[in-house]
Amino acid sequence: MEEVTIKDIARLCGVGVSTVSRAINNHPDINPETRDHILNIIKEYNYIPNNSARNLKRTESKTIAILVKAIDNPFFSSMIRVFEKEIKYERFDFFLQHIDNNQDEIEVAIGLAKEKKLMGIVFLGGFSEHSEEALRQLKVPFVVSTVELDNSVEDCLYSFVSVDDKRESRRLADYLIGLGHRRIALLSAQKDDESIGRLRMEGYKSALSQHGIPIDEDLIVYTPKDCEVYSRRSGYVMMQQLMEREKDFTAVIAISDMVAVGACKAVFENGRRVPEDYSIAGFDGLPETFYYEPSITTIKQPLEEIAESSIKNLFYMIRHEEKAPNKKFEGELLKRESTRKIG
């Protein structure tokens, strides 16, 4: 007996192929009765809605690509290990490629998907805004890992797994406010950031507003264009700029742990102390912050869980040809020596 196709099901149900697809993918835009009817027919005819699984038999390539922005971020190393392990366990091949900050990740991915006949992609690190048109040109399922994004483009199999950057950043600001700080500076991403940087800033602003603390734009410093974003050097440069402004402040939230490390160094070189003169907090939970002197208060991201969930989502999309749900993990506030109670 020949294999039943999605076209057969559509014909049997008297609907179009796209409606069958909606039923399979549990799309909200379908009449529930129509959906149930289609799902019954699917069951009856034993149709397996899994083109990818069939593709697997046809092609030799079984490669998953990991595309990493900023490969030298220690943040990603433990995650790459998880991806590698899980991909091998599922007997797929693993392909790692670095993307420069000035490259368009979707363009790179589209080229690579064709060249390597990829089965799926994990984007790790920065992920910019892309048009629906661009996203649709990427014909393989993909997961964006550690970055939250709008997931509403249809006919495009993707999802994201991350922490709730806004909520976690708010939590960190809340903690500093709870320690008595009112004049809290922010060492931010670049001014035009529309990704993690923006979300973390929103969390910071939201915490201040909730406590009736006015936002002082002079206490927000943006990563200069000539600094790599999230780097130690950017933190060092931004903290120097902030101190030169001669504004009052008692605490600093850095957009990442590496930025916090750079900021601490600028404080020391200025002959001041952490936390006696300034409380400084980071974000990410890198091991480096534990070993720094003083140890640095930070939000720890559950990187291995995020990696595991990302790859699980990707395999789900490859096998079921439907979007996997986005997932947001909780971070953990690590209260350490770089922040202190005042007033």
- In the complex, least distance from residue 71 CB atom to a second copy, rounded to whole angstroms: 6
* Longest distance between any two alpha carbons in the chain, whole Å: 81
Q: Does 84 bind a second copy (CB under 8 A)?
A: yes
Q: Does 209 bind a second copy (CB under 8 A)?
A: no
For a second copy, give the closer residue by CB, 115 or 217: 115
| Location of structure tokens 């915490």 | 207
Among 210, 287, 335, 341, binds a second copy (CB under 8 A): 287
- In the complex, least distance from residue 73 CB atom to a second copy, rounded to whole angstroms: 8
Q: Does 300 bind a second copy (CB under 8 A)?
A: no
Using CB under 8 A as the binding criterion, the count of chain residues that bind a second copy stands at 27
Distance CA 182, CA 202 (A): 17
Among 261, 281, 311, 317, binds a second copy (CB under 8 A): 261
For a second copy, give the closer residue by CB, 16 or 74: 74
- Site string (213-232) toward a second copy, x via CB under 8 A: -------------------x
For a second copy, give the closer residue by CB, 63 or 169: 63
How buried is residue 114: exposed, middle or buried, by Cβ count under 10 Å (0-12/13-18/19+)? exposed
Q: Does 293 bind a second copy (CB under 8 A)?
A: yes
For a second copy, give the closer residue by CB, 31 or 101: 101
Q: What residues between 86 and 145 interact with a second copy by CB under 8 A?
A: 94-98
- In the complex, least distance from residue 109 CB atom to a second copy, rounded to whole angstroms: 16
Distance CA 118, CA 66 (A): 11
Residue 33 CB: number of other CB atoms within 10 A? 8
CA 49 to mean position of chain CA atoms: 29
User: Checking phi first, is residue 59 left (phi over 0); if not, alpha (psi -120 to 50) or beta?
Assistant: beta
Q: Please enumerate, as own/partner, the contacts of 82-87 that have beta carbons within 8 Å and a separation of 24 or more.
A: 82/304, 82/307, 82/308, 82/311, 83/122, 83/307, 83/310, 83/311, 86/307, 86/308, 86/311, 86/312, 87/311
Give me the residues that bind a second copy (CB under 8 A), please.
71-72, 74, 77-78, 80-81, 84, 94-98, 232-233, 236, 261-262, 264-265, 268, 287-288, 290-293
